[in-house]
């Protein structure tokens, strides 16, 4: 009898361990952010952590005509928990290079289940840039949450700034700098 109970308990422990490590099903939501949301990824997300747009609560998203049934929302702590990468970004018109730090954009997209898709990255003012999987692979794109050792904030270039490393090369021109979206708040995955 003791052997059967021990075997049953061992089997139960294995099932519980597998269940704890299993990713959420497509109809389930991943863990939600605990702090204020700074980035929302919508569109073709595999497993979101929030439901559909709520017109009253999501007034700024509604203002920008964003609509979704499921999205993946990040607070700053969630972005900070991803592996961090430091880069240097410099454009010709800037007074100096800027040291940026944040997760690789590919890691952010992977977390939301949209890596490998074309995405459009939007700034608070509505400016948007399309990033294809091929473009993402050409550079080490970082979704910075810090600049020169200070957290990015709204009113500066925050809450997040998408850029890639330019160290070891000449400062980039206006066209390349135009792909570096600052004040990022929303990503639409195709």
CATH number of the domain enclosing 81: 3.90.420.10
Range of 133's domain? 76-189
> Mind listing the pLDDT tens digit for each residue in 51-73?
999 999 999 999 999 999 999 99
pLDDT given at position 27: 54
CA 83 → CA 63, 86, 151, distances in Å?
33, 10, 16
d(CA 73, CA 78): 9
The number of distinct structural domains making up the chain is: 1
Residue-level pLDDT at 11: 41
Burial class (CB in 10 A: 0-12, 13-18, 19+), 15: exposed
How far is it, in rounded angstroms, from Cα 128 to Cα 188?
10
Given a contact cutoff of 8 angstroms between Cβ atoms, the answer to whether 187 and 121 are in contact is yes
What pLDDT does 168 receive? 86
DSSP state of 82: S
Q: Is the residue at 44 inside a domain?
A: no
pLDDT per residue as tens digits for the range 164-186:
999 888 999 999 899 999 999 99
Asked if the model's pLDDT at residue 50 lies above 50, the reply is yes
- Does a structural domain hold residue 2? no
Q: DSSP label at 130?
A: E
pLDDT of residue 30: 87
Both tokens of 188, joined, read 């639409």
């Amino acid at each position: 009898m003791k052997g059967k109970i021990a075997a049953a308990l061992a089997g139960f422990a294995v099932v519980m361990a597998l269940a704890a490590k299993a990713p959420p099903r497509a109809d389930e939501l991943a863990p939600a952010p605990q702090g204020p949301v700074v980035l929302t990824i919508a569109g073709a997300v595999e497993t979101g952590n929030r439901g559909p747009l709520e017109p009253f609560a999501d007034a700024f998203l509604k203002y920008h005509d964003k609509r979704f049934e499921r999205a993946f929302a990040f607070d700053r702590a969630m972005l900070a928990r991803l592996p961090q990468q430091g880069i240097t970004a410099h454009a010709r018109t800037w007074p100096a290079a800027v040291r940026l730090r944040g997760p690789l954009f590919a890691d952010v997209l992977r977390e939301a289940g949209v890596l490998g898709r074309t995405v459009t990255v939007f700034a608070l003012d509505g400016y948007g840039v399309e990033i294809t999987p091929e473009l993402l692979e050409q550079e080490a794109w970082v979704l910075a949450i810090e600049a020169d050792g200070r957290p990015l904030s709204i009113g500066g270039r925050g809450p997040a700034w998408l850029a890639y490393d330019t160290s070891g090369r000449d400062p980039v021109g206006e066209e390349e700098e135009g792909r570096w979206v600052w004040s990022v708040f929303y990503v639409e995955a195709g």
